[in-house]
Structure 1
Amino acid sequence: MTIFTLRNIVNVTVLQEIQERFSEATGFAVIIADELGIPVTKPSNFTSFCTNIRSSEQGSKCCILSDRKVGQLAAQHGKPIVHHCHAGLVDIAAPLVLDGRHLGSVLCGQVLVDGHDEQRIEHIRDNFKQLLIDQDFLQKYFDEIKFVSKRRIEAAAEMLQLVANYIIEIGANHMAEQELNERNLKLAQEQQLRTQLEKLLQETQLKVLQSQINPHFLFNTLNTISRLAYLENAEQTQNVTYSLAKIMRYSLRNNDQMVTLKEELDYIQNYVNIQQSRFRNRIHYHENIEVNAEEIRIPIFTIQPIIENAIIHGFESHENDIVITLHCFLKDHQVQIDIYDTGIGMSEETLASLFSRQGRERNSHTTGIGMNNVQKRLQYYFGEDNGITGVESKIGAGTIVRISIPHPGGVII
């Protein structure tokens, strides 16, 4: 969120123009300062006395501190404050407060009060004698300071508050416009994300969905084959057929929906059953689940493509058996899913291209879902800090893929 200051909610040129008009109308010296007393505009109608004081480093610091003090005092009271500055002249400060934040002040004055300050003249002279400035000039310029009535100062204070209100109104309108622009930008970004997701979801459509065969006919046929295998005591054939039917039914669900972790793990088990039959039990799959798999929801086809990559790329051309381990546990308020395999591993070049176009073509097979697709869908649902948060691999040493998502219960105890 943008931190608004006086300088970025109102154009300084606009502030300068408002200040000049007020100074011309009242004859008072005027300046607009931020909450620290630092001038935002150039002085208007300043007296030679004050200009001379501000021209020195010591005098400038004293003026800024004085403006800061009266500005804060005005903000605390919520109205214009009349006070005597460090040099003894009358200054008026109207606070600039927006949404409870003190942004600065409009200050005017550099006069003396008729019928009141005459008796303070010597005291004022003693004050500015402490300044390391040419005293002859200061004395001369001080004698030029105007005396005005108390009623005129009160009227100036009222007008100054109107000016401050007008500046705040301009600032509020600018803030509203900025916030609207930020919301529109956020909506545009969300729309872009939705469009990307829709495209990704289209990419996840399995080839079976393009078939003209009625899915119910396909399921009935698979069930018939499974029963025939049972009658013929072909237990392995029955198991493979049953697993394939379960996979087909799962794959035909809406690909934009969330499923429970348990449903995804059941799907993986059926997928591995078929692969184990294909490779004659050279694939060893283990699960270590330390969470409630029924309360955790993930996008459909999140884990299976990673298991598939381990088999397709880490094992098919490998003579040895492969061990795939899925470990799901809680860590730092997150659900972490680590998939280990003892396959052939990947080179640094292949590892670096996993989420590139080349990588998408490489790791997209049975389901047509690549690592990049999995990552994009996880980040869409859970935010960019989540998803596939790590991939470690070395040739001959296997691969580890790490998925991290928020825990549905929030804080983990």
Structure 2
Amino acid sequence: MIKNLREFVDIDQLQKLQEQFAEAMGVAVLICDAQGEPVTSPSQFTGFCRYIRSCSEGLKRCILSDDKVGKLAAESKRPVIHRCHTGLVDFAAPIILRDKYLGSILCGQVLIEDEELEELPKVEMNMADLPLDQKTLQEFYDQLERKNKSRVHSIAELLFVTANYIVKLGDAHLTAQELSLNNLKLLEELRRRSELEKLLKDTQLKVLQSQINPHFLFNTLNTISRLAYMENAKQTENVTYSLGKILRYSLRNIDQLIPLKEEIEHLKYYLSIQQTRYRDQIKMVINIEDHLVDYRIPIFTLQPIVENSIVHGFESTGDPITITIEIYAEDEKIIFNIMDDGVGIEENSVNIPLPKGTGHTTRIGLNNVDKRIKHSFGPQWGIAKLEQLSQIGTLVQLHIPG
């Protein structure tokens, strides 16, 4: 739970940012917490305001005024311009991180023409009762700078940009903390599993591997994705997002039937990762009759075949490859043609025995795909063809009842 600014922003860094803004804009600047208390040292404060704050009562009134305008800005979620208890024009921009108001950037301490002040709220307090020399106070007042209304509004907008920058710094810091915490948890989980590997047999270990909390993995991936977004690492964000979708998909029951459109969606996430890995050397074209998108097929029917094309048709040479998927209805059956223009297979036969190996990603090979289709629909269905095309490449054809 975020409590205050100091938890997520380096105050020294904040001080430097504040001083740069004050020097560039020619105004006094101060950053306060949610109660109006300063968290930085004042930058370019006027002699008038320093003199007011030199007595305890004056400082108390200034903090109350800062607290008021900061909360007004938080309510509007925009910069607010007002007159402080001394009549000077100040402006504030809220610092709101993950819907929590943590403070504000305050600047100003200037005068503008009276006719431009009518719309500005004012906190009236009597300065005559402050234990200050009124002549000295007047001398400081006469030294105050005047700015026109348009200049004041421009500075207020730039102040809002600066406040948002601070929020981004804070969010990046919190995301890094969350990622670090999740990484520590992951390392501890890996250490514990490493110890189990020394004590348990291979088959026992496979059972235990399925007990890793999937929610923890998804939370970690979400944190990495958010950090990549903050750092503008678009490819990292996309790959992390795709991997999370694949993990969630893989937790389903292997015997489950799912709509064809979900299998296609999963296939696109898988291909997105491969395209990033191989710098878009792999392309995929999907042609499917619209009325078939809701037809239910076994989960992981297409991905192992596409992966087979990549492993055997592309990785051995690294030459660009296009994988084409055609899905259509014909003679009371649905036909899936998965074709590639890769290396191809050594023989050309519709009766080639299906390889019994497992896929790299899911441990599901072509033989497994064929068996699960037969289990769901009957022995006459499954992989009908596995052959080299006339020129180059491979065709895998599936038949499923329509």
For Structure 1 versus Structure 2, the TM-score category normalised by the shorter chain is: 0.3 to 0.5
Whose radius of gyration is greater, 1 or 2? 1
- What is the TM-score with the length of structure 2 in the denominator? 0.46
